[in-house]
Each structure stands twice: as C-alpha cells, then as structure tokens.
Amino acid sequence: MEDIYDAGKLKGKKKEYYAMLMELREELLDEMQVHSDGGLKAEREAGNDAADLSSQNFMREFDLSMMGEEGKRLQKVEGAVKRLFNGKYGKCSDCGDKIPDGRLKAIPFARLCVGCKSVREEKEAKGITVEDNPDFTE
C-alpha cells in the first residue's frame, strides 16, 4: 500500500492510530519477507532423500500458511487505514457505537466493539453466517 493518504491532515488520536497501523503494516511486511525467504532457502538447501524432501515440504507449507495469515492481517490493517481517512475508523461496523480506545490500542484494526464481537463469535460458533453492515465497510 503506497502512502496515498495525506497523513499530515491527521490530528490527535487519529495521527497516533495511523502511526500504530503503519508500524504494524511494516512488521507484517517484514514477517512475510522472512517467510518468503525461508521457503526459498529451504528449497536451495534441501537434499534429495525422503527425509530432506519431507522436511522441505513441511517448511514450505508452514511458510505459505504464515504468509497467508500475515496477508489477512495486512488486509485488515489497510482496511483500518482507509476507515481512518473516510471517518469510519473507531466505529463498530455492526452497531455504529464508538470502539473504546483500549480496544483500538490492543487491536488497531478492530472493526467491532467488544459486545458485537462476542455476539458475532457466538453466532459463528453455531454455524450462523454474519454479514457485515454495508454502511460501515470500506
């Protein structure tokens, strides 16, 4: 994500959250690079016997899995940056209430208040699909 937003326009807490999100973004990109490099290194160093190939396959799958999870978190971070600039950041995407600062500091890309997150998790545990509120999506 290029810095397509003018961070200079942000003031106060928004500027603080932007800095947190950008730091988290950089950490995720670095982790993704490590896993990408790790998979390439394992391929170069692997021998041809069954144990080496098995180990190589395991490491490749592990690295791909980690990159997938980090990619999902990166998308959440980039979505949070969009919400920061379009005025939807810090508002629960289900009920529209303000997400407490403590939650945003712990999970800067949070889209749900604690109450709505709990309700959503309970529904999902029962196999109920929950749609996002279109008024609060990016």
CATH value at residue 57: 1.20.120.910
Residue 37 is assigned to a structural domain of this protein: yes
Element (H, E) at 62: helix 50-86
Residue 104 is assigned to a structural domain of this protein: yes
Quote the mean pLDDT of the chain: 82
DSSP, res 9? G
Domain that holds residue 129: 92-138
Q: Using CB atoms within 10 Å of the CB of residue 74, give its burial: 0 to 12 exposed, 13 to 18 middle, 19+ buried.
A: buried
pLDDT digits (tens, 9 = 90+) for 120-138: 999 989 998 877 765 555 4
- The answer on 65 and 114 residing in a single domain is no
> Which of the two residues, 55 and 14, has the higher pLDDT score?
14
**pLDDT given at position 1:** 47
- The answer on 104 and 54 residing in a single domain is no
**pLDDT given at position 134:** 55
- The answer on 108 and 82 residing in a single domain is no
Residue 126 is assigned to a structural domain of this protein: yes
CB atoms within 10 A of CB 49: 9
Place of tokens 């379009």: 86
Please give the model's pTM, rounded to 2 decimal places: 0.72
pLDDT digits (tens, 9 = 90+) for 57-79: 776 777 666 777 888 999 999 99
- The answer on 110 and 44 residing in a single domain is no
DSSP, res 7? G
**pLDDT given at position 71:** 86
Q: Count the domains in the chain.
A: 2
121 backbone dihedrals φ, ψ, rounded to 5°: -65, -40
- The answer on 121 and 62 residing in a single domain is no
**pLDDT given at position 69:** 84
91 backbone dihedrals φ, ψ, rounded to 5°: -110, 135
Residue 4 is assigned to a structural domain of this protein: no
Residue 3 is assigned to a structural domain of this protein: no
Alpha-carbon distance values, 30 to 60, 71, 123 (Å): 17, 11, 35
The number of C-alpha atoms within 13 Å of 97 and in the hemisphere containing its C-beta is 11
What does the alpha-carbon distance between residue 75 and residue 25 come to, in Å, rounded to a whole number?
Answer: 9
- The answer on 77 and 23 residing in a single domain is yes
pLDDT digits (tens, 9 = 90+) for 72-126: 999 999 999 999 999 999 999 999 999 999 999 999 999 999 999 999 999 989 9
